[in-house]
Homo-oligomer: A and B are copies of this chain.
Amino acid sequence: MSKRTNSAKRQLILDEAAKLFKLKGFGGTSMRDLAAQVGMEAASMYNHIKSKDEILELICFHVSDTYIRQLTEVEQMAATYVEKIRALIGRHIQLMIEDGAAVSVGNNDWKYLTGDTLEAFKTARKRYEKGFAALIEQGIAAGELQPVNVSVALFTILSAVRWVELWYRPGRDVTPEELEENIMTILLNGLAK
Contacts and interface: CB of A to CB of B under 8 A. Distances in A.
Contact of A185 (B25, B82, B146): B146
B188 A192 contact: yes
Nearest to A152: B182
Interface residues of A, number: 46
A24 B22 CA distance: 15
A187 B136 CA distance: 16
Contact of A149 (B156, B161, B178, B192): B178
A149 B174 contact: yes
A28 interface: yes
A159 B25 CA distance: 19
6 closest Cβ pairs, A-B complex: A27-B27, A190-B190, A159-B163, A160-B160, A189-B190, A27-B28
